Structure 1
Amino acid sequence: MSRIHEAAGSVSRRALMAAAVSTVAMAAFGGTAARAQDGLGTPEQPIEVRMIANEAFANQWQTLMVPEFNKAYPNIKVTIDGVPYVELLAKSMLDATGPSPTYDIIIADDPWVPQLAEVGALMDLKSAEAAAWTDAGYDWDDFNAAPLAAGEWKGVQYGVPLRSNMLMMFVNKALYEKAGVPVPTPDITWEQYLAQAPKLVQDTNGDGKVDAWAIDTYFVREPLTPTIWQTIMNSNGGSLLDENGKPAFNTEIGIAALETHKKLLEFAPTGAVSHGFSESLQAFRQGLVATMFNWGSVYKGSAIDEKTTTLKPDQVGIQALPAGSGGPGAHRGIWNGTVSSKSENKQAAWTVIQWLSSKEGEAWHSANLGVFPARKSTLAAKPSVEWLGPVFVGLQQAYDAAEKGKMWRIRHPRSDAAQQILADEHSRFMAGQIGAAEALQVAADKIEKVLD
């Protein structure tokens, strides 16, 4: 691997570098003058950048995104290693804390940034060093607050949003119409949703057997299942932690939200207690459920791609989850682009991340890969493909809801351990082994010790 050290340099040198970048404007994030700078490689000596990412999208990025990036930066060679989600944090931590890390870029899930930052694994993307390599038109203020905050820890910006996922409500309009139930609007409340649910458990072909249900989502024991309960709780004004960082979810609001999550099983397909991401997604795409609470990034494969869904674009709606007393529900799940603090190719690594999260990069990413943008300007503009129109409206609503209700997982270096505790106690409640109040009290006691 070619390694070119980028010295911090003097203030005057940084100023010259920034001026050069500004002069060429980098309309496509990759002008000739910019590419000639130290750290971005030359045809004779290209820079090699290695990235570790979730295997769910790593191959897609390697085969589709990297060639597009290389149109602007042909001298930066990007290799992306895909790792299963359940192994990604551990492998990222092990590599980043080693004496000679393999990876220049770590794609970190929403709650992992504090843990990586605390061990000194990440570069400050707003440092003087990074500022010298940041395009003048990058516009930090253009990001929506909720996704940008996922890359921040203790006032330092360690990451930027690259795949801005949000937990959202998918609607099969055809099944609503078949049941004679009004298609939900973004104003629908949890009470209204639950009142309609029994009618959406229906026999659609007249053979006397139920063949369509109201809902499918996460019910099985896994770390992301508690996000459904948390979203219901947050939408009713509840919180995971109080202002002192202590558990605050073992309340009447938390208990009612947990019981609501379990009540959804009454209107879900048989065996849904063992359903998670894949099972609920399959049920929705096969037209078996009227609604699905799942990550918004699956929209393209659920409404557009004929290879993966039986549904058509005009049949599928997307919006924030039903509203509680505090407003609509959502949950933030941002994949952050971060640069290893030990990378010898920091400028090239930050350039890759900048391109992905730039206005131009977001537009290409959303149109070609269905990836959700984080910038306000992207969501406010007319999308390049028609199907993204309603998606952008729903996504902006979800960002606003998440920011207002602090709808994200625990932010702490031990967040992963805390999430495992929530998954364990949530699962015991779903299985009928424990009541809602006891499940939350046990979880609160354990999490308080973990966070201390």
Structure 2
Amino acid sequence: MDKRTIAGRRRVLAGMAGSLILATMPWASAWAEDGLGTADAPVEVRIMANEAFANSWQTLLVPEFNKVYPNIHVTFDGVPYTELLAKMMLDATSPQPEYDVLLVDDPWVPQLAEIGALADLKGEKIAALTSADYDWDDFNAAPLAAGEWNGVQYAVPVRSNMLLRFYNRSLYKAAGLPEPTPAQTWDEFFSDAEKLVRDTNGDGKADVWAVDTYFVREPLTPTIWQSILNANGGSLLDDAGAPAFANEIGAKSLETHKRLLDYAPPGALGHGFSDSLQAFRQGLVANLFNWGSVYKSTAVDPKSTTLTVDEVGIQVLPVGDARAGSHRGIWIAGIGSKTEHVEASWAFLQWLTSKQGESVNATLAGSFPARKSTLTGTPAEPWLGPVYQTLQNAYEVAAEGGMWRIRSAKSDAAQQILADEIARGLAGQASAEEALSTASEKIAKVLK
């Protein structure tokens, strides 16, 4: 099938999806025009989001939404990830916030809730605007819980990301190894890793490696260690909310994270999201531990990858002493508590997170859905089939193992401490025991 045929089919699919939503979303016609705008007086809804996907959502998703709500004009403003939380908090605490909707990373809900930035999505006002077909119970528990704090649902999952394992089938075959399975243990992974580091051009130097992932000193790097920690039966905090990772399980897990460097490309200690992703897309590494939302751009889109769908496998991380590994990194969206456009804002979020909206989002933008019905249904494109299977598995694993960052109004500070200390352990500047002990002491003080 040539590229023009594929592109044509995708345009048809997108049009069908928009028509389907218009026909099957009863609240689109049931709501009065008041609050949803008119042709002469449209409603403007502004959304602050991560610049990594804000522009693509503006381009791909807003036109689909406008097939249902033509008089709500949605504008995404992209902000660099490192600046996003601070800008959200600054805007939310101003007398007249500029933004109606905040698109928030997994651990930030407690901070934003504590300053009163977000509206209660199940409260009386918004509940009255919610369709009976919306079906809160259809969401998987792990992604939905990312938007909850102290019993209040402040946000809904709109880009349900999970830390997953990508593997290159071609490199496994060339090394004479069978494809890894979701039941593969860490010991089995490292046994394969010995054979996956190879010299393919005969110059005496390795030019393909077994793995790449986060090693650099930055806030997302500890999620690799934490995934291994949870898989080994450990946890970040105990039932009383105190640090519980500075022990034998924590040290063993950090040593496993560090051992990955033995099978990673030169300079991998400085690698994070982009570097490891590029190494995998270029066919230089057999395994990548990274966020699953990059699957489409890594296995499907020829503009951004040298790989194809047939070459890229996807599954949860290797099995530890207790279970397989994963880590929750859900992007959730909430309505600003001071917005004057509650109805229009909720119309957009309700559309985006409806059963039909999730399908459009997954098909056009590659975003992962959170609803059980979406993941167990027939995907709009064949490549989504194995992805959905793995994602459902990851949600269940994460819920069982508590695989997410610290949930606290001080979570950002705690994550930075972990970033600093895990980086020291990976670089050999401190033993695993010393790095985790220091992190535990500092986090205990922060959380008080």
Q: Settle same-fold status: TM greater than 0.5.
A: yes
- Residue 321 of structure 1: SS of its match in structure 2? coil
Match of 2:392 in 1: 396
Matched, 1:33 2:33: no
State the AA in 2 paired with 1:48: E
State the AA in 2 paired with 1:348: A
Deviation of 1:34 after TM superposition, in Å, equals: 3.1
Q: How does 1:26-425 map to 2 (within 5 A)?
A: 27-29=23-25, 33-425=29-421
- Residue 318 of structure 2: SS of its match in structure 1? strand
Contact 2:375–2:392 (8 Å) recurs in 1? yes
Deviation of 1:35 after TM superposition, in Å, equals: 4.9
State the AA in 2 paired with 1:364: V
State the AA in 1 paired with 2:177: V
Contact 2:45–2:74 (8 Å) recurs in 1? yes
Contact 1:165–1:332 (8 Å) recurs in 2? yes
Alignment CA distance shift 1:32-1:289 (3 Å): closer
Contact 1:35–1:42 (8 Å) recurs in 2? no
Match of 1:433 among 414, 429, 436: 429
* Separation in structure 1 between the aligned mates of residue 142 and residue 376 of structure 2, nearest angstrom: 16
1:340-395 deviation digits (Å, cap 9, x = unpaired): 00011111111111111100000011111111000000000010100101100111
Deviation of 1:26 after TM superposition, in Å, equals: 6.7
* Separation in structure 1 between the aligned mates of residue 223 and residue 364 of structure 2, nearest angstrom: 28
- Residue 441 of structure 1: SS of its match in structure 2? helix
1:389-439 deviation digits (Å, cap 9, x = unpaired): 110011111111000000000000000000000001111112211111010
State the AA in 1 paired with 2:366: G
- Residue 52 of structure 1: SS of its match in structure 2? strand
State the AA in 1 paired with 2:117: A
Contact 1:26–1:135 (8 Å) recurs in 2? no
- Residue 360 of structure 1: SS of its match in structure 2? helix
Alignment CA distance shift 1:280-1:32 (3 Å): closer
- Residue 291 of structure 1: SS of its match in structure 2? strand
Match of 1:443 among 409, 433, 439: 439
Match of 1:6 in 2: none
Q: Tell me, which stretches of 5 or more residues in structure 1 are unaligned?
A: 1-24
Contact 2:358–2:374 (8 Å) recurs in 1? yes
* Separation in structure 2 between the aligned mates of residue 425 and residue 350 of structure 1, nearest angstrom: 41
State how many pairs are aligned: 428
- Residue 53 of structure 1: SS of its match in structure 2? strand
Deviation of 1:31 after TM superposition, in Å, equals: 5.6
Deviation of 1:142 after TM superposition, in Å, equals: 0.3
- Residue 135 of structure 1: SS of its match in structure 2? coil
Q: What RMSD over aligned residues (CA atoms) do the two structures have, in Å?
A: 1.2
* Separation in structure 1 between the aligned mates of residue 376 and residue 363 of structure 2, nearest angstrom: 15
Contact 2:22–2:68 (8 Å) recurs in 1? no
* Separation in structure 1 between the aligned mates of residue 201 and residue 381 of structure 2, nearest angstrom: 35
State the AA in 2 paired with 1:91: K
- Residue 322 of structure 1: SS of its match in structure 2? coil
> In percent, how many aligned pairs have the same letter?
64
1:304-348 deviation digits (Å, cap 9, x = unpaired): 111111111111000000011221100000000100000111111
- Residue 191 of structure 2: SS of its match in structure 1? helix
* Separation in structure 2 between the aligned mates of residue 235 and residue 32 of structure 1, nearest angstrom: 44
Contact 2:27–2:131 (8 Å) recurs in 1? no
Alignment CA distance shift 1:122-1:31 (3 Å): closer
Contact 1:58–1:80 (8 Å) recurs in 2? yes
* Separation in structure 2 between the aligned mates of residue 36 and residue 119 of structure 1, nearest angstrom: 32
Deviation of 1:29 after TM superposition, in Å, equals: 3.3
1:45-83 deviation digits (Å, cap 9, x = unpaired): 211111000000000111111111000001111111100
* Separation in structure 2 between the aligned mates of residue 107 and residue 202 of structure 1, nearest angstrom: 43
Match of 1:14 in 2: none
Alignment CA distance shift 1:234-1:219 (3 Å): same
State the AA in 2 paired with 1:323: V
* Separation in structure 2 between the aligned mates of residue 31 and residue 127 of structure 1, nearest angstrom: 18
Deviation of 1:195 after TM superposition, in Å, equals: 1.5
Alignment CA distance shift 1:64-1:436 (3 Å): same
State the AA in 2 paired with 1:436: A
1:224-271 deviation digits (Å, cap 9, x = unpaired): 000000000000110000000000010100000001100000000001
Q: Tell me, which stretches of 5 or more residues in structure 2 are unaligned?
A: 1-20
Alignment CA distance shift 1:436-1:102 (3 Å): same
Deviation of 1:43 after TM superposition, in Å, equals: 1.4
Contact 1:28–1:72 (8 Å) recurs in 2? no
- Residue 446 of structure 1: SS of its match in structure 2? helix
State the AA in 2 paired with 1:288: L
The answer to which of 58-67 and 103-112 deviates more is 58-67
Deviation of 1:41 after TM superposition, in Å, equals: 1.2
1:150-188 deviation digits (Å, cap 9, x = unpaired): 000001000000000000000001101111111101111
